[in-house]
Structure 1
Amino acid sequence: MREAEPGVGLAHDLARLGTWALALGDSETGGWGPRNRGISRCCLFLPAVVIMCASSDTIRSIMLAAHRHGMTSGDYAFFNIELFNSSSYGDGSWRRGDKHDFEAKQAYSSLQTITLLRTVKPEFEKFSMEVKNSVEKQGLSEEDYVNMFVEGFHDAILLYVLALHEVLRAGYSKKDGGKIIQQTWNRTFEGIAGKVSIDANGDRYGDFSVIAMTDTEAGTQEVIGDYFGKEGRFEMRPNVKYPWGPLKLRIDETRIVEHTNSSPCKASGGLEESAVTGIVVGALLGAGLLMAFYFFRKKYRITIERRNQQEESNIGKHRELREDSIRSHFSVA
């Protein structure tokens, strides 16, 4: 009996909601192999909203294949979940300087990228420069945005310090871990990139942006809307040309879509602007689920590695004790 792959249950749940989720691991994003080439063909028989999480090169390959199958004319909505706030997913991410650039530009007109809400705070810009300078001193080259892990670690330390000071002022000690944890719940404070809000369960609310192509001729990509997790509110940005027009998204339940490979694909409901907003919010929720799965898997891997290190350490100590015991025995003899 084959063991179910991680995240399969999540994918099935999203499929029932009319959404297909795709997450590729590091070992799967290095090249466009047979497995990846079949992804676009699978999309032909799946719901009209596709959520992906992969490297920028793999996303480009998927979008090129989807475009060649006639899936980028408005019958499908593609969302890419970007976990690291990387500049490689922003404006011009379709461009590689190769013969496929024109085709990729056309394909990316149907792609929306969901990333973390980027801040313009001077404090964050200064923090970013300090991090980059520190990385360069280590002999590494880093010309990208400071990702969410660095920002999150900074804010986590800041939150701990705030909670610790409040606990100490209340007459408790730094050993009262339960009190410190309670002080971190259900509060809002100023982080390095802006307001940070923690809910009653100790989870951080996420703020996201949606990047889409606003000029199909030039291939320009811009932030078209923002989602604010604490308020549960999605706002379209003013003075932005939205990628969908009256004919761009035309998903119709009564129509059969004809693709270049003659594979029929039944679409799902008529869409207006409110429905499009609903799709975007649904994609954001799907992004949250994918990110939660990603962090759970990472935390589980770290726990296993620490346990293995501890076991190796215990084995080493046991071996040293045996050697000391043997030497002591022979010295007595």
Structure 2
Amino acid sequence: MLQMGQVVNKQEMAIIYKVSDRSIQRDLDTIRNFFSDQCVKKGVIQEVEYDKKLNGYHLITEDVEYLTEGELLAICKILIESRAFSKEKLKSLLNKILKRCMTIKDCKKIVDYIANELFAYIDPKHVSADTERLWEIAEAIQHKQIIEFTYAGLNQTEAKLHRIMPVGILFSEYYFYIMGIINDSEKRKHFHLKDDQSPTIYRIDRIKSINILKETFKIAYRNKFKEGEYKNRTQYMFGGKTQRIRFRYFGASIEAVLDRLPTATVIKEKGSRHVIEAEVFGTGILMWLLSQGRKVEVLSPPQLRTAWEEEAKAIVAMAMKGAS
């Protein structure tokens, strides 16, 4: 009926076939799943949708919109630049993407464009991202399941057991991270910031073993972790407090600064000098400011300026010691 363009009324079908409305709904769900699978195989999107005006379900058909050669090339370049995967895993991912999205002839053209980068690609020193574990964690976040895992942090030789309420996954500077809330009052006593309500950050490649528990948790919608807002304010995935900073920039590309700090705005401009204000989270902003050398001068807040000055003095002292 659906493929003939007819409208299917659930109640009428239940009467005709002498089954419950629920049975017809299950059949409709099965048909939806079938068309979803066919989309991947045949390249045609077919969806069963309910229409209030027609008082029933009907079939909608449309062609799949494929990625262009330029879009695929961009995706390949970004994957290579991410350095999240080993060379073997990277090649496997790129091969799957290209074969799914292009003809063999067009696929070869993209492969030729990225061949040199792949040939010269050096495996990252960290463990290649485990995509199966990534999905396992994502599912736990979706279903709000408690996670227990053993984890060896920076400069730690022995893995320790952690228990968290997972709330998000982020990618930054080569690594995937899981964000989790620790609900253990004893562990929270040892937090650097006693009143810190922010999720704790863990690098997924440092997780040794993981167990997704059946135990679930609840978080009020107003307290829901927002990955996008967090990423806009965080540099290098360092934790800490939210702060509003202001600095003077003397460099040539103000655009690069605004791209690096999505929350930044230029509040004063004079020639090649710009005063920039941004809301940031965590201590990673100091690392970025120091990486700009004499192109920046930190103006506020006072504690950030003090930390910047102390680091600058330490660098000068180290240089003087090395020269003597």
- Name the TM-score, length of structure 1 as normaliser: 0.23
Which one has a bigger Cα radius of gyration? Answer: 2
Structure with a larger share of its residues in strand? 2
- Name the TM-score, length of structure 2 as normaliser: 0.23
